[in-house]
């Protein structure tokens, strides 16, 4: 299947469906970063991690919109103005999970940007500056939860500089803080466990037997974001709210299935845990 021929359409009225069936999600997993064209190094576990994420979300009855891998994940999928392409845009679903490269500074400062890096066959450039390029929830976009499993896309020192502007209806985003010598490692387990916790194992024997906790987005990331990371790396979750109390409530208690309306980003609340 190619992106050029891929088209998703809904044949049902979403309001008549249970909440689990209404929730739409997408994944982008990138292993291939050839040094000559995309700077390297290649990764090995990002595609399997994205597939594991799909397993848990499909089992919960969520609707998979797109599940692109390697060169079919484009930088344009995360840039405002092209992020609503129905064949892969990150602002089409309600949940997007990305696993691939980011960029770490040697010692990040408040003015340094955060990045998300792809190696697309089309839709270049492959490097997206999140502050300047990404806007989620605007112009008809529907993304509520942006989950980024990469190197340093959410450095604490520059969080307020880079992550307020992309929230244009977005509820919660998750990522890592670190630097060039304290980095997030390639991992299949981290994203898979995060997906399991955000669904509570719904639709699987683990959920039926109560073997998995069903956690809010913030709690799930605090419990899984430090799997396979180097020392001094932090797992970070940030939420927007209509006011201080709303932002804190979302940060602490919002599930992917809560069904809460979009916040007006008047206030932000974040939390983190470090290795």
Cα angle 154-137-49, degrees, rounded to a multiple of 5: 50
Residue 187 exposure: Cα atoms within 13 Å on the Cβ side: 20
User: What kind and span of H or E run contains 22?
Assistant: helix 19-22
How far is residue 134's CA from residue 2's CA, in Å, rounded to a whole number? 25
At residue 6, the pLDDT reads 37
Taking each helix axis as running N to C, give the angle between helix 189-199 and helix 217-224, from 0 to 180 degrees, rounded to the nearest 10: 150
Cα angle 11-94-55, degrees, rounded to a multiple of 5: 80
Contacts of 173 (CB under 8 A, 6+ apart): 145, 146, 147, 148, 154, 163, 166, 167, 237, 238
How far is residue 38's CA from residue 26's CA, in Å, rounded to a whole number? 23
**Tokens coding 124:** 């270049």
Conformation bin of residue 40: beta by default, left when phi > 0, alpha when psi is -120 to 50 = left
At residue 22, the pLDDT reads 84
Burial of 122 from C-beta contacts in 10 A (0-12 / 13-18 / 19+) = exposed
Phi first, then psi, for residue 51 (nearest 5°) are -65, -35
Rounded to a whole number, what is the largest CA-CA distance in the chain?
51
Per residue of the chain (275 residues), give pLDDT as tens.
555 443 333 333 333 345 555 899 999 999 999 999 999 999 999 999 999 999 999 999 999 999 999 999 999 999 999 999 999 999 999 999 999 999 999 999 999 999 999 999 999 999 999 999 999 999 999 999 999 999 999 999 999 999 999 999 999 999 999 999 999 999 999 999 999 999 999 999 999 999 999 999 999 999 999 999 999 999 999 999 999 999 999 999 999 999 999 999 999 999 999 99
3-class SS of residue 99: strand
Radius of gyration of the chain measured on its C-alpha atoms: 17
For 23-274, the fitting CATH number among 3.90.460, 3.40.50, 3.30.60, 3.30.1600 is 3.40.50
Residue 6: alpha-carbon gap to chain centroid? 22
Contact 133, 82 (CB under 8 A): no
């Amino acid at each position: 299947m190619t992106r050029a021929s891929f088209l998703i359409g809904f044949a049902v009225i979403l309001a008549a469906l249970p909440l689990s069936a209404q929730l739409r999600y997408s994944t982008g997993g990138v292993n291939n970063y050839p040094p000559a064209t995309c700077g390297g190094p290649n990764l090995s576990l990002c595609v399997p991690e994205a597939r594991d994420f799909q397993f848990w979300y499909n089992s919960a009855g969520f609707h998979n919109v797109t599940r692109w891998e390697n060169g079919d994940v484009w930088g344009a999928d995360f840039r405002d103005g092209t992020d609503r392409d129905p064949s892969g845009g990150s602002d089409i679903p309600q949940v997007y999970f990305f696993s691939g490269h980011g960029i770490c500074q040697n010692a990040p400062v408040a003015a340094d940007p955060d990045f998300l890096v792809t190696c697309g066959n089309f839709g270049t450039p492959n490097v997206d500056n999140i502050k300047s390029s990404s806007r989620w929830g605007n112009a008809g976009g529907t993304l509520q939860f942006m989950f980024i499993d990469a190197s340093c896309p959410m450095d604490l020192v520059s969080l307020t500089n880079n992550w307020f502007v992309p929230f244009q209806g977005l509820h919660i985003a998750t990522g890592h803080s670190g630097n060039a010598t304290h980095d997030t490692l390639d991992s299949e387990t981290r994203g898979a466990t995060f997906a399991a916790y955000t669904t509570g194992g719904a639709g699987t024997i683990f959920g039926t037997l109560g073997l998995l906790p069903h956690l809010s987005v913030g709690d799930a990331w605090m419990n899984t974001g430090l799997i396979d990371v180097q020392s001094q790396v932090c797992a970070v979750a940030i939420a927007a709210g209509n006011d201080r109390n709303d932002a804190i409530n979302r940060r602490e208690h919002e599930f992917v299935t809560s069904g809460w309306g979009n916040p007006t980003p008047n206030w932000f609340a974040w939390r983190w845990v470090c290795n």
